[in-house]
Amino acid sequence: MNDLRTDMIASFDGVELAVHRMGAGRPVLLLHGLFSDANTNWIRFGTAAQLAAAGFEAIMPDLRVHGASGKPHDPAAYPPDVLVRDVFALVAALELEDFDLVGFSLGARTAFASVVAGLAPRRLALAGMGLESLRNWHDRIAFFIGAIDRFGEVKRGDPAFMAVSFMKTQKIDLVAARLLLTSLDWKRIDSLDAITMPTLVVCGAQDRDNGSPDALAEALPDGHFVEIPGTHMSSVTEKALGAALVAFLGR
């Protein structure tokens, strides 16, 4: 039941999104982080296999501009909240009604914003996320746009070095990525009380890239914090991530 299947699904505007699926059972929609993809975040290090073995179906899209999904260069393909619109389009196309939602970093922010916009998963898990970043995403956007704009100039020791190195490893389309980032200038999110479902906040012990995860869990109506080993980059490689998701979603 752990065979990986991949389909291409047209989003609300016709852009093709690659959707990778593993396992059978309760659907879990997993959204990866910025400049990553489903393979890097969920498949390569076994998180999807852990979920599949526990009786879930892991549904893992490559977000717009990432992985095998479309990377349009037309600015019209990046309206405000485009990733949230993609999530709603995928939920509709896949006919998901009783499902769980998981996101890492940008995926967590997208999952959070999707719930605020009306998506209603049974349970929600936010990984690699803290309270401060949910409320001040503009600074993160500016940092990554700056990294793209200085892409050829960034050297070791520069604060953007790791981001640029990761973009190179992932072979990111810089034109499309910059357009996507400009569409994500979400306003300050003060809608924590809209997250009424049980919510797991899971974060690496050395990961405070997006602020305080325990403060986020405390601020949510039904938040639960679990700390796992790792930094922002390494926590997705830890078996503890899959274990925390299985334990929480299996309740």
Answer yes or no: is pLDDT of 185 > 80: no
Mean pLDDT for the stretch of residues 131-158: 91
Give the tens place of pLDDT for each residue, 127-139.
Answer: 999 998 877 778 8
State the pLDDT at residue 189: 59
State the pLDDT at residue 190: 65
Mean pLDDT, the chain, rounded, equals 94
Answer yes or no: is pLDDT of 186 > 80: no
Answer yes or no: is pLDDT of 1 > 50: no
State the pLDDT at residue 129: 95
Count of residues in the chain: 251
Task: Tell me the chain's radius of gyration from C-alpha atoms.
Answer: 17
Answer yes or no: is pLDDT of 2 > 80: no
State the pLDDT at residue 134: 79
Give the tens place of pLDDT for each residue, 61-114.
Answer: 999 999 999 999 999 999 999 999 999 999 999 999 999 999 999 999 999 999
In percent, the amount of the chain with pLDDT more than 90 equals 89
State whether CATH 3.40.50.920 applies to domain 4-135+186-249. no
Mean pLDDT for the stretch of residues 171-193: 85
- CA dist 56 and 53 (Å) reads 7
pTM of the entire predicted model: 0.96
